[in-house]
Amino acid sequence: MTDKTRPRLLTLVIVISLAVLLVFGFLLIRRFSNNHHEQDVEEVQEIVLDDFGFPEGGFLIESEVVRSNQTLSHILSSFSLSPDVIHLIAERMQEVFNPRRIKAGQNYHGYYTNDSVPQLQYFIYEISTLDYLKVGFGDSLLVEKGEKQVTTLEKSASGMITSSLWNTMVDNNLSPELIIRIAEVLAWEVDFHRVQKGDRFKVIFKEDFVGDKSVGVPSVDAVYFVNQGREIYGFHFESDTIQGFFNPEGESLRKVFLKAPLEFGRISSRFSHSRMHPVLKHRRPHYGTDYAAPHGTPILSVGDGVVTQAAYTSGNGNYVRIRHNSVYETQYLHMSRFASGIRPGTKVTQGQVIGYVGATGLATGPHVCFRFWKNGQQVDHLREEFPSADPLPAELHSAFLVIRDSLALELDKIPFREENPV
């Protein structure tokens, strides 16, 4: 090494040191800024949280089930909490949860510190599949209600009918809610009482999960059904002005019911869970809509269907019940008489006269009490939000075709279980 090279080496060392310092300083600044900005986001991705928002593995957890006749204070005292603390919890709870509504069979959990002397940190009571009560024993007592994290997954399923749609779907581990949704979409196309062996279906839908537990089917996007060799497609389409299920041509899968069973007539009493009965003079539910009209006014079937009952009871008077499809049924009470030919098994068309207004049974004056069933439950047809029965307006057709084609492609990709190598 010569004398000439020494100062150059020194310069090099200084330059390198400065560079190292700069880089290090830069890294420090980055780390610092990470701490304040980006790290929160990263942590959420890295740390797995349990149903109640606690990091997995962060606590020792003891889980129990509420036994019959167990009260909240029984349960809390099993955690060795003092009566004073239990009293305070009960007091603070009033705003978020009524402790008397605690139910046998529900789960509760104690969260303890994960160390040699575990300390109770949180108490969790599961109010329902979604809601829970959280009590925290930090510096100050925390009592709050929380909601579990719901994950929505896009799913698909298929099946071949062996006995009934219900059995086939249950065999395929599909939720009852999905079965009901599919039946509703196809209600006007498929008579599910006559679904036959060899009928097949495919479905694309969204399902909500809490952990790995299914908690609901928020939407069905597309359905394909082969009913006795006939192919039916239903594509869900939604815009600001219209939403419903449409066939590949953009026609609605739904048919409209008449708004009322009378051409003229006024609503005299609406569907109610508690109304003063005009004859009995005490409160009871009124699961129908009354239309007052002159004696003898024709009563019309609100949709195509089959008469299942045409009979008399002391309450209903002369009444007719019609099954429109697997989902909907209607009933018409207090008739003066039936129209000719109306008896169980008679096929009726929308708008067909099935009887005449009267006041038979428990009625104060001539009216028809109109009752509407959806999936076996009485509902207020005036409040039912039906999907659109209108065809798609021309200006939405191209948007629909895009959705239709992508869903059709997805449906095609779903194998039938039988074709699916296990």
369 binds Zn ion (CB under 5 A): yes
| Least Cβ distance, residue 288 to Zn ion (angstroms) | 4
Distances (CA, A) of 278 to 61, 232, 281, 290, 365: 58, 47, 6, 12, 10
Residues 240-279: x/- map of binding to Zn ion (CB under 5 A)?
----------------------------------------
Secondary structure (3-state) at 17? helix
- Give the residue nearest to Zn ion (CB): 369
Please give the single-letter amino acid code of residue 199.
D
| Least Cβ distance, residue 308 to Zn ion (angstroms) | 19
Q: Which of 288, 305, 317, 358 binds Zn ion (CB under 5 A)?
A: 288
| Least Cβ distance, residue 272 to Zn ion (angstroms) | 10
How far is Cα 272 from Cα 378, in angstroms, rounded to an integer?
A: 11
Under a CB-based contact definition with an 8 Å cutoff, are residues 404 and 410 in contact?
no
| Least Cβ distance, residue 267 to Zn ion (angstroms) | 10
Question: How many residues belong to the site for Zn ion (CB under 5 A)?
Answer: 3
Q: Would you report the helix, strand and coil content of the chain in percent, each value rounded to 5?
A: 25, 35, 40
User: Closest CB to Zn ion among 70 and 268?
Assistant: 268
Identify the DSSP state of 143. Answer: E
User: Closest CB to Zn ion among 195 and 369?
Assistant: 369
Q: Which of 199, 207, 290, 329 binds Zn ion (CB under 5 A)?
A: 290
The strand pair at 120-126 and 107-113 is best described as antiparallel
| Least Cβ distance, residue 348 to Zn ion (angstroms) | 21
Residues 311-350: x/- map of binding to Zn ion (CB under 5 A)?
----------------------------------------
User: Closest CB to Zn ion among 74 and 284?
Assistant: 284
Using CB atoms within 10 Å of the CB of residue 268, give its burial: 0 to 12 exposed, 13 to 18 middle, 19+ buried: middle
User: Closest CB to Zn ion among 148 and 286?
Assistant: 286
How far is Cα 165 from Cα 200, in angstroms, rounded to an integer?
A: 9
Any residues with CB less than 8 A from the CB of 167 and at least 6 apart, and which?
none
For tokens 């009965």, name the residue. Answer: 277
User: Closest CB to Zn ion among 288 and 303?
Assistant: 288
From the list 147-155, 236-244, 289-297, 316-324, the region that binds Zn ion by CB under 5 A is: 289-297
| CA proximity to 224, closest of 277, 261, 185, 281 | 185
178 binds Zn ion (CB under 5 A): no
Residues 30-59: x/- map of binding to Zn ion (CB under 5 A)?
------------------------------
203 binds Zn ion (CB under 5 A): no
User: Closest CB to Zn ion among 371 and 404?
Assistant: 371
User: Closest CB to Zn ion among 135 and 368?
Assistant: 368
User: Closest CB to Zn ion among 80 and 377?
Assistant: 377
| CA proximity to 102, closest of 71, 78, 145 | 71
86 sits in which H/E element: helix 83-93
From the list 30-38, 133-141, 215-223, 281-289, the region that binds Zn ion by CB under 5 A is: 281-289
Q: What is the 3-state secondary structure (H, E, C) of 289-354?
A: EEEECCCCCEEECCCCEEEEEEEEECCCEEEEEEECCCCEEEEEEEEEEECCCCCCCCEECCCCEE
Under a CB-based contact definition with an 8 Å cutoff, are residues 318 and 289 in contact?
no
Q: Which residues of the shown chain bind Zn ion in the complex (CB under 5 A)?
A: 288, 290, 369
